[in-house]
Amino acid sequence: MQFFINILLLCVQVILFVVVISQNTDESITTMVQTTTRPMGPMGVDILSIYVPPGIGNAVKLVWGDDRGTEGMNLTYGVYYGIDESELEFPKLTTSNQSMLIEDLEYCTTYHFAVTLLEENGNVQETKINPYIMRTLITGLDHMAAPINLTVDFEPKVQPCIDIKWSAACPNVVAPIGYVLSVFDKKLVKYKVMTLARTKRSDLIYRMPVNYGDMYEIRVSTNFPGSKAVGPFFYEVPQALQPFKLKVTVNKDDDAFLIYWKEPYVPLTIGRYYYQVFVYPGRDLEAPYEKYYVTRPVMVYKGERGEYSFSVNFASSDRKHVSAVTTPVYANLNGEVYELNATFTETPDR
């Protein structure tokens, strides 16, 4: 009896095993099939390269790329740009290329740029640009524009010279540019024109030998025909031994004036020397003045009035060498400070 029971159990197990195998073999096997679908936009695209092309200061070249498997698709990109980020709500240009030259921009101006992949139907809709895909660039120099910040510094030496300084019209100098420096000697009534080598520097300097007491009229332009010049800048070289660059600052808390100046070149043969500081009430250069003696180019003055004019000259201890006085500078306790466009009707006591 037990033998028949064991045979019956074995048959049941075999039947169950066959049923399970049959069910598993009837199921379909899922396989991975790669399909390429067109990306839906607008989606941000990374700008790989952005630059101002040489010779076209008011243009910007953009190059972008997309690594989402879009080869062979007819994609449309939207190009956004503007001076303010609020101008990037809608694309200004569309293209199927992955690069674009944007022209007719403002010279030397900061622009923001972005690129997105547009919808399949090409519809243009308002977009909030992701700041991480936005690029910023300053456009280039207008070669016809006048340089800026023309100044002149005096270098007192045995052979005096002046440093003529200026800046390019834009700090973003894409391609080397040359300059033309024109100097008119008002004493000799003679022009001197120098054409300087091309450079990409935005701040420039030219050192020129001069003579004490010379007067010059200076202009600077780029070397492009018809370009505008900065100037004229009028400069009078100080006399021999004459102090220069007289400055006055006001300390309102102490009702005091700080007077300081640049020292001239003094040959060793002159020996000991000092400076004379002349103080006039208000702007009246014909009124009685106060005179102070100092050995260094700085002095603090406190008076009963709230406004004065100051001038300085040089004198050797033996009084054999006394320089011309500087142009007077007016200052008041309200903070007004400026040179007086006036000359002394009578030379101060030497």
pLDDT in the model for residue 350: 53
SS3 216: strand
148-236 classified as CATH 3.40.50.450:
no
- Among 288, 257, 259, 258, smallest CA distance to 276 is for 259
Other Cβ atoms closer than 10 A to 270: 14
pLDDT in the model for residue 345: 55
Q: In the numeric block, which tokens belong to residue 292?
A: 């102070």
Q: How far apart are CA 127 and CA 124, in angstroms?
A: 9
- Residues 139/58, Cβ–Cβ less than 8 Å: yes
- Among 323, 304, 336, smallest CA distance to 264 is for 323
Residues of the chain within CATH 2.60.40.10 domain(s) are: 43-138, 148-236, 244-339
Cβ neighbours of residue 304 closer than 8 Å, sequence gap 6 or more = none
Query: Average pLDDT by consecutive 10-residue portion of the chain (350 residues)?
Result: 47 42 42 44 86 94 74 80 93 94 97 90 67 94 96 96 97 95 96 96 97 97 96 96 96 93 96 96 92 95 93 95 95 94 64
Cβ neighbours of residue 80 closer than 8 Å, sequence gap 6 or more = 87, 88, 90, 91, 92, 112, 113, 114, 115, 116, 127, 129
- Residues 91/79, Cβ–Cβ less than 8 Å: yes
How would you classify the pairing of strands 290-294 and 273-281?
antiparallel
pTM of the model: 0.77
CATH class of 43-138: mainly beta
> Distance from CA of residue 20 to its chain's centroid?
80
How would you classify the pairing of strands 307-316 and 298-301?
unpaired
Query: Per CATH, the architecture of 244-339 is what?
Result: Sandwich (2.60)
Cβ neighbours of residue 104 closer than 8 Å, sequence gap 6 or more = 58, 59
